[in-house]
Amino acid sequence: MGIVFWMFFLLALPVLQSAKILTVCLIGGSHYLLLDEISHNLYQRGHEVRMLLQLGNPVITGFSYEGRADSYQRSTWSLGEKYIKEYNGWFLEQQTQFLLGRDNFNNFLNFMGHLSYQCDKLLGDKEMITFLQRQHFDITILDAFNPCSFILAHRLGVQYIAFYPGTLNGPLSIALPSPLSYIPVFSSQLSDDMNLWGRAKNLFYSFLAPVGQELVWSTFREVAERHLESGSPPGGLKEFHQGAELWAFNTDFSLEFPQPLMPYTVLVGGLLNKPAKPPDQDLELWISSFGEAGFIVVTLGSMVSSVSVDLLLVELVAGFSGIPQGVLWRYDPKRWPAHLDRPPNLRLVDWLPLNDLLGHKKARLFITHGGQNSLLQAVYHGVPVLGIPLFGDQFDNVVRAETKGLGLTINPTHITRERLSSTIQTLIQDTRFKSSALSLSQIHRSHPVPPALRLVQWVEHILHSGGGAHLRPTSLTQPWYQRYLLDLVLLFCLGLLGPRHHVYQTSHFYCSATLSNTSVLF
């Protein structure tokens, strides 16, 4: 009987042959780490996977892009050493601006300008594009942060799944239900518990968001015009976003604020989280030398390999020297200022196994820039964090972490040695932070399906279903005035209008009030 049951069960499963899948990574850094993990997981599932990897992005010191042995295939592309050197030099200058607290939207648009230039050259490489077209991929998984990925997918004529490496409020036009009363708009630095002024700020940012998206798309519009037979889509980036078969987000409700989702969205935060492996013997001996005081892990992101603001570096070092814990800092030793002495409890490494270190039993605190991957790894291992946000979504990310009780935040321009050391000791000695971290870890780990398997299963569902049309509601194609019933409101108002003056006054008052209330939805 048991054999018959299992035979029936296996026959009832949908048969899905190995698919040809293209993953697209045009930025590097933490984006590469995620796409590498996704590509490897799909390969292990039996699919034929090829990654298009653009080389020459800001270098991750101490890390190699050589890929995994006996795994997916890669096609690499770059703009050449001269441009790579210039681009990396520009990015190092941006690091200084971030550390000085000068992150602004113009800097972001300049970054998008660089990505647009790279995109134009990539799409103009006929040899590479022809090679990819001849592969006849079944589907593409692209990094949705970079608009070029969408243009490339359309150039190849392949259906695509959008993987966004951040939180739900990053993409501005995928039409998720987003009531402004409790869902913070991107870059607002608000929590989901807003007072009157917070809601007013959120409403204001909701008007800025589509303007910002249009400015971003304006840097890519000419590229799309040049390289797509149909030209730039009338709806711009919004049309590309809503053309995805599925949206997968690198987030999780252990860290994300609860909010409504749509059928075409899936949360897969924690792809890089794994059980910790023991460090090498030399590092373990260094950790053991600090006894029960333990150690602190410090990293300001995969692309920030040093602190180029001398005054800030002096304060950081002085703050670290005043605590009993060991401090393991990912910092390029070659860029350490010769005039600055290192305290005995500080150890510099050009690359560190973050997941393994956070999983160590003596890890007491994680000092981070607030990158999404870093915070999710802290959640997974139950380690409190001190956030030092530098740019982009990091400011929103640390607000989430602080609201959830995972840690505290210091702006880089507000760091002093006294404030740094006292905040570190508060986070370590106040047991509420460790308790919150462990509670979030329990929430994250107890999800019935691990994030890697969750994503693979959804990709296979899209492949088996022939696309994600069944997941997309009609609202994505409705005009905005129909979506918010403004045409119905207008018709109702016209129907109320009559020859009598009091009817006109009543209808005028009602319609004005209705339109005023409806406008809050935007």
Q: Which of 39, 24, 18, 15 is nearest to 452 (CA)?
A: 39
- Residue 182, in any domain of the structure: yes
Summarize the confidence of residues 364-372 as an average pLDDT.
Answer: 96
Q: What percent of the chain has pLDDT over 90?
A: 68
Q: Which of 455, 460, 305, 297 is nearest to 384 (CA)?
A: 297
pLDDT band with cut points at 50, 70 and 90 for residue 8: very low
394 in the same domain as 492 = no
187 contacts 395 by C-beta, under 8 angstroms: yes
pLDDT band with cut points at 50, 70 and 90 for residue 5: very low
225 in the same domain as 327 = no
The tally of domains found in the chain comes to 3
- Residue 349, in any domain of the structure: yes
pLDDT at 520: 42
pLDDT band with cut points at 50, 70 and 90 for residue 174: confident
pTM: predicted TM-score of the whole model, two decimal places: 0.89
Distance CA 73, CA 499 (A): 75
Q: Is the pLDDT of residue 512 over 60?
A: no
User: What is the DSSP code (8-state) at residue 493?
Assistant: H
- Residue 169, in any domain of the structure: yes
125 in the same domain as 32 = yes
CATH number at residue 457: 3.40.50.2000
Q: Residue 481: in which H helix or E strand, if any? A: helix 480-483
pLDDT band with cut points at 50, 70 and 90 for residue 514: low
239 in the same domain as 375 = no
Q: How far is CA 203 from the centre of its chain?
A: 23
pLDDT band with cut points at 50, 70 and 90 for residue 304: confident
Summarize the confidence of residues 30-35 as an average pLDDT.
Answer: 92
Helix (H, G, I), strand (E, B) or coil at 298: strand
335 in the same domain as 468 = no
The tokens for 80 are 């050449």
The tokens for 520 are 């809050």
pLDDT band with cut points at 50, 70 and 90 for residue 31: very high
300 in the same domain as 355 = yes
495 in the same domain as 468 = no
61 in the same domain as 146 = yes
Q: What are phi and psi of 65, to 5 degrees?
A: -95, 25
Residue 200: which residues within 8 A CB-CB, separation 6 or more? none
pLDDT at 65: 65
487 in the same domain as 470 = no
What is the domain range of residue 328? 281-445
Q: Residues 359, 361, 366, 372: what is their CA dihedral angle, to the nearest 10 degrees?
A: 20
Residue 169: which residues within 8 A CB-CB, separation 6 or more? 178, 183, 184, 185, 186, 396
Beta sheet of 407-409, edge-to-edge order: 346-349, 326-330, 295-299, 363-368, 385-387, 407-409
- Residue 296, in any domain of the structure: yes
pLDDT at 7: 46
395 in the same domain as 304 = yes
Beta strand residue intervals within 283-440, DSSP E: 295-299, 326-330, 346-349, 363-368, 385-387, 407-409
- Scanning 45-104, the segments in alpha helix (DSSP H) are 81-99
- Residue 9, in any domain of the structure: no
- Residue 8, in any domain of the structure: no
pLDDT at 64: 61
330 contacts 351 by C-beta, under 8 angstroms: yes
pLDDT band with cut points at 50, 70 and 90 for residue 88: confident
Q: Is the pLDDT of residue 13 over 50?
A: no
Tens digit of each residue's pLDDT (9 = 90 or more) over 447-503? 999 999 999 999 999 999 999 999 998 888 888 788 888 888 888 888 887 555 554
138 in the same domain as 38 = yes
